[in-house]
Amino acid sequence: MQNIGAANADDAFYRYKMPKLQAKIEGRGNGIKTNVVNNVEIAKALERPPEYVLKYYGCELGAQTNFDKGSGTSIVNGAHDTRKLSELLEAFIKKYVCCYSCNNPETQIKIKKESIYLKCKACGFVSDVDPRHKLNTFILKNPPENKLKKEEQKLKKAEEERVKDAEALGEKDKKEKKKKDKEKKEKKEKKKKEGKEGEDKEAGERGSEVSACADDDDSGGEEDDDGVVWMTDTSAEAANRRAQEQLTAATAAMVTLGNLEAEQEAARRRAEREARKAAEEEARKKAEDAKRAAEEEAARAAAEAKAAALASADPVVRLRALLADKDAPTIVKEIRAMTGVEGGTAGKMRVLYEAALAGSDARMDQVLKARKNVFAQFAQDAQSQLAQLIALEYLFAVAAPGRIKEAPYTLKMLYELDLVEEDVILAWAQKADAGKLLAVSAEAGRTVRKAVEPVVEWLRQQEDEEDDDGEDD
């Protein structure tokens, strides 16, 4: 696994990962193609449809692409190495995955009319995608589904419920506040009414007292406090003081409500982080389990195939399995111990040539060069060398006639590696029925000799030049 985005390649703690791109070149000639083996896994890690990634390769390389939804096979026509495809994948991530603001890959593709933009889930930034790229046309014709994950659906539902609860709480507080204001207003009006009545009563009592004092001068001027009535202070200063007290109480209620909403928001964010962390951990475990299961299945299949090949009665299949992971001495020992192979030494060489050269898609002359230490063990004398040439004739006449164009290169490599002497090659070329030992028809033998004629003619010229030099001396 590797980090998503080249800018985050060195961050050991970066949590957004994707598989490393794997590409395999298949076919030959005009039918050569590149299979992006894990394109589906990469697209899943990027949260993009695999068709988008594959189509981007095709647009940048000018090649046709083919995606099989059933098997997930992703084909790009032509031979393209992994390094080039990785560079194009990085360009795709930069243009169609990462946020243009925070560089976070957790974005969604949105389409509005004929425009494409990226909505970042982390910072909320909206990134406009360059409309000039050819992939935009494909995306507009094949828009993404943008389905919410289960965790996101839960978070969205929780957010809607939180907003609904907050609105209900606000409405309740509003009603209570309105009720309290009404009660205060009623109390205030009641106090004002009582105060007015008290003033009228006090004025009447004062008039009575004045009359009493005028009638009774000997009363000694005693004051009577029994008629005093306490009333609400209606001065401007008192009214401002009461208004300030009411304002302070309302502010305190608002602060309390604000603190409650802040605590609810913090709890929601904490729940979102925990849910996202749990989802990422679950996804990581699932990916690891899937990868481990795939590796185990591949190993089991390889082991079964190898066991079946080793147990096969066909010596070619058995030897091909040995060539995959055994050393040269083991392979040579197996060839020498073969029994029941028609044609004697030539028959054994037929098994070796068919298993080693016809069983590989690589050029036969290069495989021959890589396996020189095995072929050299059967080139000790002229008879063994002739057996190799007969096996070569069988290879291109019967086992792999479609690859006969490689015959001259393979014969020339045999000569250059000193596996077959010049005289033996010229003698084999003159003996048209040498392949009868391995049931090669005369017509097929002539076809093989015609294919290697340039090499044979070149060896004859070399021999003539050496003879001329000897006569001059």
Q: Each residue of 384-414: pLDDT tens digit?
A: 999 999 999 999 999 899 999 999 999 999 9
Rounded to an integer, the average pLDDT of 124-128 is: 89
User: Domain 315-467 classified CATH 1.25.40.180?
Assistant: yes
Q: Which residues contact 154 (CB under 8 A, 6 or more apart)?
A: 275
Pick from 67-76, 127-136, 259-268, 427-436: least confident: 259-268
Three-state SS string over the chain comes to CEECCHHHCCCCCCCCEECCCCEEEECCHHHCEEEECCHHHHHHHHCCCHHHHHHHHHHHHCCCEEECCCCCCEEEECCCCHHHHHHHHHHHHHHHCCCCCCCCCCEEEEEECCEEEEEECCCCCEEECCCCCCHHHHHHHCCCCCCCCHHHHHHHHHHHHHHHHHHHHHHHHHHHHHHHHHHHHHHHHHHHHHHHHHHHHHHHHHHHHHHHHHHCHHHCCCCCHHHCCCCCCCCHHHHHHHHHHHHHHHHHHHHHHHHHHHHHHHHHHHHHHHHHHHHHHHHHHHHHHHHHHHHHHHHHHHHHHHHHHHCCCCHHHHHHHHHHHCCHHHHHHHHHCCCCCCCHHHHHHHHHHHHHCCCCCCCHHHHHHHCHHHHHHHCCCHHHHHHHHHHHHHHHHHHCHHHHHHHHHHHHHHHHCCCCCHHHHHHHHHCCCHHHHHCCCHHHHHHHHHHCHHHHHHHHHHHHHHHHHHHHC
Q: Which of 25, 89, 47 is nearest to 283 (CA)?
A: 47
Over residues 432-456, mean pLDDT: 91
Q: 119 forms bridges with which residues in the sheet?
A: 108, 126
Q: Is it the case that residue 149 has pLDDT exceeding 70?
A: no
Domain ranges (residues) in the chain: 2-105, 239-310, 315-467
Q: What is the mean pLDDT of residues 132-144?
A: 87
pLDDT, tens digit, 9 for 90 and up, residues 9-21: 778 888 888 998 9
Residue 278 has pLDDT above 50, yes or no: yes
Structure confidence at residue 12 (pLDDT): 81
Residue-wise pLDDT tens digits, 97-119: 899 988 888 898 888 888 888 89
| Statement: residue 22 has pLDDT above 50 | yes
When pLDDT is averaged across residues 276-292 and rounded to a whole number, the result is 91
pLDDT at position 221: 43
CATH architecture assigned to 2-105: 2-Layer Sandwich (3.30)
pLDDT by residue (tens digit) across 220-242? Answer: 444 444 454 556 667 767 777 77
Residue 418 has pLDDT above 90, yes or no: yes
pLDDT of 175 higher than 70: yes
pLDDT at 421 over 90: yes
pLDDT of res. 214: 46
Q: What is the mean pLDDT of residues 82-110?
A: 89
Read off the tokens for 126: 């909206």
Q: Which amino acid is at 7?
A: A
Does 271 have pLDDT greater than 50? yes
Give mean pLDDT, residues 176-205.
Answer: 74
Instruction: Report pLDDT for 222.
Output: 44
Q: Mean pLDDT of all residues in the chain?
A: 82
Question: pTM value?
Answer: 0.38
pLDDT of residue 454: 94
Average pLDDT over residues 416-444: 91
Better-predicted residue by pLDDT, 446 or 471: 446
